[in-house]
Structure 1
Amino acid sequence: MNFLDIFSGAGGLSEGFLRAGFEPIAHIERDLYACKTLETRSIYYYLKKNNELDFYKQYQQSFYASSSENKRRRLELLEMVPENELEPIMNLEISEATLPLIFQKIDERLAHKGWKQVDLIIGGPPCQAYSLVGRARDENNMEEDPRNYLYKLYVRFLTRYQPKAFVFENVPGILTAFKGKLFKNLQAYMRRVGYNIEARKLNAKDFGVLQDRKRIIIVGWRKDIDYQFPLIEPQIEENYVVNDLLNDLPKLSSGQSVSSGSYRIPNHKLLKKSRIREDEDIVTHHEARPHIQRDLDIYKLVVEQWNNKGLRLKYTDLPEHLITHKNLTSFLDRYKVIVGTTTFSHTIVAHISKDGHHYIHPDITQNRSITVREAARIQSFPDNYFFEGPRTSNYVQIGNAVPPLMAEKLAEWFKNRLEILES
């Protein structure tokens, strides 16, 4: 079975379907670095299929090389894959102007693979316009943002390819945008082109992800197919805590980075079970941001307050000499520790790329915000997932992603359901 991934991001949703055995037709994503990440991941799967992952591991080591050496090794990695073996990864913004080219490339790929139809379309348009925080910060309540209507472009793919089913992922705010009118219009569009749909609010923590991350998953089935929303029971996990995701990584202070890909301690059963760390993996993307002394002083106070009293420190609770912002009435939780001793963290979002204040490491001896690799693990990305581009882009890619473990559970349900329909 195959799938088409639109508004792909860094591939968190796609990763789940790849793990479940689906084959990608194409990925479409407007961000250049996210596209390079998708390309690298596609190469990983090609080399894995051909038992040549040693070449991929050598490329991972380029994380510790110079920029020029990294580029050279990437070219060598690309040369490992014969032409037309990888699916198209289109670095394009989906719009009326680009749709003809996008459809052409998809059609060419379907013909090349001998596929007569698209089994599944997955993807989640950018969610900033639907975000409650985004609307609160915008004086026009995001009403003039063109991204509000990207669902209409999503429907264009449904109209053209008539997949058996689709998955549309977004933030809970999509339900209330424009007093619910936008969501009603979205449903009407999808039904009009031949789909029964249902929307559910799901939480990543119910899928084995150690993160409180609520998302709206809209599932659609073609009207000629027996339709049912995935009934996925919350997973009963052992008493894993967030520290189990972090403790094996090298300890770092502000501004430090690891000099090799070695882990600090042996693999943990949680990391093995969730396939976050394999025995042959190495550590990459584990560099601590440099922080100014004032922020380091605040970080220490925030962690101490939590460790000693189990309380979140508000910005107005800080000593006077540490308060520099004029806004003392809103966003008072701007400094927040990732709690290591609980079964899930708070939500990782793309804002982590700005400063990291909302994602302070729970180990007070390290006194810093979390690294790209630590954020990726909380999102359930495996250590062999290589994020391309600068650190800021890596954080954005991770914060915007669907957790792969969550995506995998959805994909497994779809695979079983579609196989029943085919039989």
Structure 2
Amino acid sequence: MRTVSLFTGAGGLDWGFRSLGFNTVIGIDKKLDAAETFSRNFGIPISKGPLLKAGYYSVGDVSQSKLEAPIPPPAVLLGGPPCQDFSIMRGVDQERGGTQTLRGKLYLHFARYLAVLKPLAFVFENVPGLLSSNSGKDISTILEDFTNLHRLPEQWRRQYEAKPHQTPPPPEDLISEANRGDIPSYQIVFSDVVDASWHGVPQRRKRLLIIGFREDLPVRMDHILAIKEALAGSPALRKYPLTALEALEGTILPELREIYREIVSEYSGLFSGDDPVSDYLRLHKGKPNDPLFDQAIEEHEAVIRLLGWKGRSLTSAPSDAFPDGSHTPPREQEAVLARMKQIPPGENHKAVRGTEHEVEGRGFSLIYRRLHPLLPAYTVVAHGGGGTWGYHYRRSRSRLTNRERARLQSFPDTFWFEGKTSKVRSQIGEAVPPLLSLKIAEVMQSILEDVREAELTS
């Protein structure tokens, strides 16, 4: 099975599909550094410019792109357009332009390639803020456009004529498909928010997923229920998620008693105990001898082994353990180091209000927020200064390295990053957690194989 990937980045959404044997035949993104990372890990050469060539990752603008030549319909079209104009981190609604902005309208090009490529299925990803942007009108518009692609050329033309400065002209390939009357219809089978921690990612990261199948395919109700069940995650992991401590130290909680006690000793009086299992159960409102906890620990172990973290502590690993430079300790100002020594695990800049370390005008909760060792990480972000980099749970440590961020995003240790530190940070923060993409890919593969078999026997 083959995939086409739009807004590809470093390949977080593609990783799960490639792990199951899907072949990425086309990728595109504006960022050369992300393309180089993808090329290094997926073995696909780079092509400069927006012309989409089979077998290449194009470095160019999706809105200016077109196919070099027709290709057979891929199994799945993947993509997560830029989310900034939908994100609640933009602040007040007036600053969340959504589909009223040029960047917010990039979803139209995902819809265009649905019409042009005619994939069997698609996976569209974005932030949960898309559900509320423009008072909920944006999500309604996007779902309507995905399910009524035959109307898209005319709607696109009307938008362009009304607001040419906010809408690009309708592309020729879309008009050609409309003139031939060959635009497919799609059934939306899933449209909901999924938390990556439900699937073993050591990070609370919620993403909106929209999944659809071509209407001419024999997709049954049991297929739709299978998707919902799969994306609901593991009951054990929903109650007992993988922790930052396990991810960064490379093993499960029962094997981390000594290291945990070292961490507790750095914060005298702030922890209720010094046993990671007992403290974890207390924190997650669990009970001793809970079979669900035992199952969760088995699933933690499976994730750690799958991603190549087992027995490999990043806290003690030297920077040259990763030749791509992703584990190089960052340089930091003395003021930041002094401030972080006063911020306990799980807390942020508010912990130093009224002291010499106070930071003025900082309203976001992630500012100078330190990881809690017994919780999943908070959302790893791609951009920003002023305390947004993410901070280690050890008092003797401050800012996270890119490799530590990569683990919190569930990248395997074998994943090689290309680019400067800030560029790699963006690649990691903008990615769909690879482990979440694997869970999506597993259920998609199962349904597509079932559909193929049904068509062959009909």
- TM-score, normalised with respect to structure 2: 0.69
Q: Can you give the 5+ residue segments of structure 2 that lack an aligned partner in the other structure?
A: 47-52, 150-184, 252-258, 260-299, 313-319, 454-458
Alignment correspondent of 1:177: 133
Match of 1:225 in 2: 217
CA positional deviation for 1:42 = 1.8
Tell me the amino acid that sits aligned with residue 87 of structure 1: G
Question: 1:369: how far off?
Answer: 0.8
Post-superposition CA distance 1:91-138 (Å, at most 9, x none): 01111xx233xx116x3xx4xxxxx321110110011111011243x8
Aligned position for 1:315: 350
Structure 1: runs of 5+ lacking an equivalent: 47-76, 79-84, 111-115, 252-267
The correspondence of residues 224-243 of structure 1 with structure 2, limited to 5 A, is: 224-227=216-219, 228-229=223-224, 230=227, 231-232=229-230, 233-235=232-234, 236-237=236-237, 240-243=242-245
Q: What is the alpha-carbon root mean square deviation over aligned residues? A: 2.9
Q: Which residue number in structure 2 is paired with residue 34 of structure 1?
A: 34
Which structure carries more relative contact order (alpha carbon 8 Å, separation 6+)? 1
- State the percentage of identical aligned residues: 28
The aligned residue for residue 322 of structure 2 is 283
- Would you say the 8 A contact 2:88–2:96 is kept in 1? no
Counterpart-to-counterpart distance in 2, 1:240 and 1:174: 27
Task: State the TM-score, normalized to the length of structure 1.
Answer: 0.75
- Identify the residue that residue 261 of structure 1 maps to in structure 2: none
**The residue matched to 2:125 in structure 1 has which SS?**
strand
Residue pair 2:392, 2:398 contacting (<8 A) in 1 also? yes
2-side partners of 1:337 and 1:185: how far apart? 39
Query: Which of 80, 97, 115 is matched with 1:159 structurally?
Result: 115
CA separation of 1:363 and 1:189: change in aligned 2, threshold 3 A: same
Aligned pairs for 1:105-184 (under 5 A) are 107=70, 110=71, 116-136=72-92, 140-142=95-97, 145-184=101-140
Structure 1's 331 and 355: CA in aligned 2 closer, same or farther, altered over 3 A?
A: closer
- Corresponding residue of 2:68: 104
CA distance in 1, matches of 2:246, 2:359: 35
Q: Is the 8 A contact 1:195 1:222 kept in 2?
A: yes
Please report how far the alpha carbon of residue 349 of structure 1 lies from its aligned counterpart in structure 2 after TM superposition.
1.4
Per-residue Cα deviation, 1:131-161 (whole angstroms, up to 9, x for no partner): 011243x864335531111111111100011
**Deviation for aligned residue 1:24:** 0.9
Distance 1:176 1:118, change over 3 A: same
1:196 pairs with one of 172, 187, 195: 187
1:157-199 deviations in Å (ceiling 9; x for gaps): 0001111110000000111111111111111111112111130
What is residue 346 of structure 1 aligned with on the other side? 378
SS in structure 2 at match of 1:415: helix
Q: Does 1:371 align with 2:401?
A: yes
- For 1:354, the aligned partner's letter is G
Give the whole-Å Cα distance in 1 for the aligned partners of 2:119 and 2:54. Answer: 22
Query: d(CA) in 2 for partners of 1:407 and 1:357?
Result: 25
- Range that drifts further, 356-365 or 158-167: 356-365
Distance 1:246 1:86 in 2: 38
Cα distance in 1, alignment partners of residues 350 and 128 from structure 2: 27
Deviation at 1:368, TM superposition (A): 1.3
1:272 positional shift:
4.3
Q: Which residue is 1:14 aligned to?
A: 14
Larger Rg: 2
Structure 1 residue 241: Cα displacement: 2.6
CA contact (8 A) 1:240 1:270 kept: no
Secondary structure of 2:342's counterpart equals helix
Instruction: Return structure 1 stretches of 4+ with deviation > 4 angstroms.
Output: 237-240, 268-272, 278-282, 355-358
Q: CA 1:341/1:316 → structure 2, altered by over 3 Å: closer, same or farther?
A: closer
- In structure 2, the partner of 1:298 is 339
Partner of 2:393: 362
Aligned residue number for residue 438 of structure 2: 408
User: Are the equivalent residues in 2 in contact too, given 1:206–1:234 (CA < 8 A)?
Assistant: yes
